[in-house]
A = this chain, B = another copy of it.
Amino acid sequence: MKVLCIGDIMGEPGRRAVARAVPRLVAQRQVDVVIGNGENVAGGFGITPELAEELFDMGLAVITTGNHAWDKKEALDYFSRQPRLLRPANYPAGVPGNGSVVVESAGGERLAVLQLMGRAYMPTIDCPFQTAKREVARLKRETLAVIVDMHAEATSEKMAMGHYLDGDVTAVVGTHTHVQTADEQILPKGTAYITDIGMTGPLHSVIGVKKELAIEKFLTAMPRRFEVASGPSVFCAVLVELDARLGKAIAMDRIRILD
């Protein structure tokens, strides 16, 4: 089974880059399942039901999110209704939505996707490590093919999660920093890992935002309404090849396509 995992999709430029790249990659590389992080599709802040449907229509089977999950109030109900739109599983009990889902490929193989969020420099929620152990055990009763989206800021927390789940899950892929890392690898016990898949969105920007606005924010510390940048885009993803029956990663390929 081949799973294409797309990093944080940023606004309209990000959605367009997905629309262009996904069909081509699916065809060329025999992709079975596509997942992507949609926490920034709505103008950089959150996701709406319409935009989620648009991404599903482009071929995404599962959309993960993160700290921006709740930016659009109109999505709150939708999180409860749409099991393939995930929010971090380590949000406390009572928070709407689901943190994991099991989907099936066209070939009938099952893939579990689990979303976690780190806590270093991030919202203070339940422990992602405790949640991971519990949720992975539960999901593995349904399938051994488990991909974890670890949405976090600190490289240390993401790498710790990779090693913590090494041998237990198929892959741990990081999101949130909007910059692709070059450390894709198969960890010692067999789990595929990358610290951050990177953003899919405008290239000449500050993590997707118009650079002038971001710079001004750092210079003045005053609140600034951020806007998604324009210009050429970058599409960032990893392709995870795995044995779905054993849940074992075979390879992780890093993908970075400029317009």
Chain A positions within 8 Å of B, measured between CB atoms, are 70-71, 91-95, 119-121, 123-127, 129-130, 153-157, 159-160, 163-164, 177-183, 187-188, 195-196, 198, 204-207, 209, 211, 214-215, 217-223, 254, 256
Contacts and interface: CB of A to CB of B under 8 A. Distances in A.
B70 A223 contact: yes
A123 B219 CA distance: 12
Number of identical protomers: 4
B163 A211 contact: yes
A91 B214 contact: no
Nearest to A87: B222
B155 A222 contact: no
A98 to B, nearest CB: 15
A163 B124 contact: no
A70 B182 CA distance: 29
Nearest to A220: B95
A121 B123 contact: no
A170 B207 CA distance: 21
B155 A177 contact: yes
Given A179-B155, A181-B182, A70 B198 contact: no
